[in-house]
Structures are given as structure tokens and as C-alpha cells.
Amino acid sequence: MSNQPTPSAKIEPLRKPRPCPECGHPSHREHYPFCSDRCRSLDLSRWLKGSYAIPVAEDESNPEDDGRF
């Protein structure tokens, strides 16, 4: 059962259009995986902001001030 011709060149499937993670629009090849440079910088700034915003864990209950002793 070898009546299938062997392909000389492997045909690569087209890259699936991926929606822009910022706005959901189809991503642009130049700004992949974003649709535009604007969305790329938006995502970057958000990422940077997120890294700067360090959640402060303020524990109000003091374990040493238990009052059991």
C-alpha cells in the first residue's frame, strides 16, 4: 500500500492565527503574538507594573500576642 507519492519538500502548515492577548484581534506577523506595537507595549507595561506591585502581606494577628501565657 505505497501508492502515496513521497513529498520532496515537507509542507509546513500555516501558523494558526493567534488572537492578540491584549485586545483579541488577529495577531500581526510583525508584532507576533500581538496585533500591533501598541498592544505589545501595553502588555509590557502591564507586566512591568505587575512586577513592581509587590503585594504586602500585612498580618494583623500577631502570633506572639496570643495571650495564652
Shortest distance (Å) from residue 13 CB to Zn ion = 24
- Contacts of 25 by beta carbon, 8 Å cutoff, 6+ apart: 19, 35, 36, 39
Please identify, using beta-carbon distances, which residue of 11 and 25 lies nearer to Zn ion.
Answer: 25
Residue 39 makes contact with Zn ion by CB under 5 A:
yes
Sole window of 4-12, 31-39, 43-51, 55-63 interacting with Zn ion (rule: CB under 5 A): 31-39
Identity of residue 46? R
Q: List the binding residues for Zn(2+).
A: 20, 23, 35, 39
